[in-house]
Amino acid sequence: MQLLHQIYLAALTIPGYTTALPASPYQPSVPHLTWSLKSTNSTQQFRGLSPVSDKVVWVSGTSGTVLRTTNGGSSWSNISPSFAPENATNFQFRDIHAWSAESAVVLSIGEGDLSRIYVTSDGGKNWSKTFVNEEPAAFYDCLAFEDEKHGLAMSDPVEGKFRLIETWDGGATWDIVDPQGIPAALTGEFGFAASGTCIEAAAGRWYIASGGVDPGRVYGSSDGHEWKVSNTSIPGGPAAGVFSVRFRDEKYGIAVGGDYEKPTGNVDNAAWSEDSGATWKKAESFPGGYRSGASWVPGRSHVAIAVGTSGSDITVDGGKNWHSIGNGTFDAVECVKEGVCWASGAQGRVASLSYKHNV
Ligand SMILES: *[C@@H]1O[C@H](CO)[C@@H](O)[C@H](O)[C@H]1NC(C)=O
Ligand SMILES: *[C@@H]1O[C@H](CO)[C@@H](O)[C@H](O)[C@H]1NC(C)=O
Ligand SMILES: *[C@@H]1O[C@H](CO)[C@@H](O)[C@H](O)[C@H]1NC(C)=O
Ligand SMILES: *[C@@H]1O[C@H](CO)[C@@H](O)[C@H](O)[C@H]1NC(C)=O
Ligand SMILES: *[C@@H]1O[C@H](CO)[C@@H](O)[C@H](O)[C@H]1NC(C)=O
């Protein structure tokens, strides 16, 4: 794309050539970015990722594991809630939300009482179990917070609708959201507990990403109670659909996904919306495979990163075109305002990428 950028600039200098230019001649250059792997000394799979800054990062995953660094990934502490060793392997913390080096909420996925939530306010020394699912049909996938108090966690449909639980006290107590305002799910529709981004809170709105049905869908709400659902352009199926929905402001968002059984399949696996998710347009060029997570880069309004098991990609035009930045496997990505993106995944992989390029 850098070459393309130069061609456009050259063309602009030729008198009379401008009519031949595309409608939008500005072609931002794609920076060269590479992931810097951090040693976590862990072989767990970290689908839960919540960086607070370029220094403080929490990851969570298999075998009930939670790790935290406070020095930018040079060293990691295992601050997992304590389980009997024979029971820890049952728990998969697929989502985590941290506010500081001290406070975080972590979600364990699974059937029955495996779906549960723990909260810490002392950096993981003490965890309180604040929610244990009692609904046999529920399976919690992900959670999101719009501030330090108000959050939602999302379960696959119960009695034909996605089930949501809500907290107004930073995760200490949870109540089931009245299903009245939630549209009916389609037969086979569910969310993907792949990266903690199947529910999103952004700019005063809430979103849910779904799959299992074709196409994958996105639900949107301004209060977490009254929801509308839209088709996306991302194909869905038993292992396919929208895995991650992210909004940079109240209007503009991206969705990524694909089929996790086809890691390098990239048919129509990314889309963007400029109307708060009411309608979705497919990208023009796509990430290099199934992508489970995406994150906007704060302060770079058109720039976002997507990751999946077959690699990672960047967009510099708001999700219309995606460019490969690596082929290593990751599940989740989150960027922080310091211009650093963090990614995490299988076999204890955690990496950071410094976004200093002036786009
Ligand atoms: C890695 O973890 C193992 C097992 O807990 C421990 O024995 C070893 O010292 C650790 N290595 C480093 C570099 O932290
Ligand atoms: C392990 O989990 C099972 C099932 O939840 C429970 O009955 C048992 O008491 C747990 N074991 C310990 C040692 O906590
Ligand atoms: C841990 O938190 C629980 C619930 O808030 C509290 O009852 C308990 O005293 C705390 N334990 C420690 C060691 O701080
Ligand atoms: C959404 O997609 C489904 C399946 O293709 C289709 O039946 C339905 O009409 C679509 N809804 C809208 C509003 O386009
Ligand atoms: C990743 O692999 C794809 C397909 O082989 C290739 O086109 C792309 O350039 C690779 N990306 C990087 C950053 O090496």
Q: How many whole angstroms from 41 Cα to the centroid of ligand 1?
A: 6
Which listed ligand is nearest to 236 at the C-alpha?
4
Which listed ligand is nearest to 312 at the C-alpha?
5
pLDDT score for 6? 30
Which listed ligand is nearest to 125 at the C-alpha?
3
Residues with CB under 6 A from ligand 5: 288, 311, 324-327
Closest C-alpha residue for ligand 5 atom 1: 327
Half-sphere exposure of residue 24: CA atoms within 13 angstroms, side-chain side: 4
pLDDT score for 26? 54
pLDDT score for 9? 33
For ligand 4, mutation pick of 231, 275, 280 (most atoms within 8 Å of CB): 231
pLDDT score for 7? 32
Cβ of 230 closer than 6 Å to ligand 4, yes or no, is no
Q: Which atom of ligand 5 is nearest to the CA of 288?
A: 3
Half-sphere exposure of residue 156: CA atoms within 13 angstroms, side-chain side: 19
Q: Which atom of ligand 5 is nearest to the CA of 311?
A: 1
Q: Which residue has the tokens 């992210």?
A: 246
- pTM of the complete model: 0.90
Which listed ligand is nearest to 278 at the C-alpha?
4
Cβ of 130 closer than 6 Å to ligand 4, yes or no, is no
Ordered strands of the 270-273 beta sheet: 240-247, 253-259, 270-273, 281-282
pLDDT score for 27? 58
Q: Which domains does the chain have, with CATH numbers?
A: 1-32 (no CATH), 35-354 (2.130.10.10)
Closest C-alpha residue for ligand 4 atom 12: 231
Q: Which atom of ligand 2 is nearest to the CA of 113?
A: 5
pLDDT score for 357? 57
pLDDT score for 85? 79
pLDDT by position in tens, the chain (length 359): 233 333 333 333 333 333 334 444 455 688 889 999 999 999 999 999 999 999 999 999 999 999 999 999 999 999 999 988 788 999 999 999 999 999 999 999 999 999 999 999 999 999 999 999 999 999 999 999 999 999 999 999 999 999 999 999 999 999 999 999 999 999 999 999 999 999 999 999 999 999 999 999 999 999 999 999 999 999 999 999 999 999 999 999 999 999 999 999 999 999 999 999 999 999 999 999 999 999 999 999 899 999 999 999 999 999 999 999 999 999 999 999 999 999 999 999 999 999 875 44
CB within 8 A of 48, min separation 6: which ones?
Answer: 58, 59, 60, 61, 66, 93, 94, 95, 96, 106, 107, 196, 332, 344
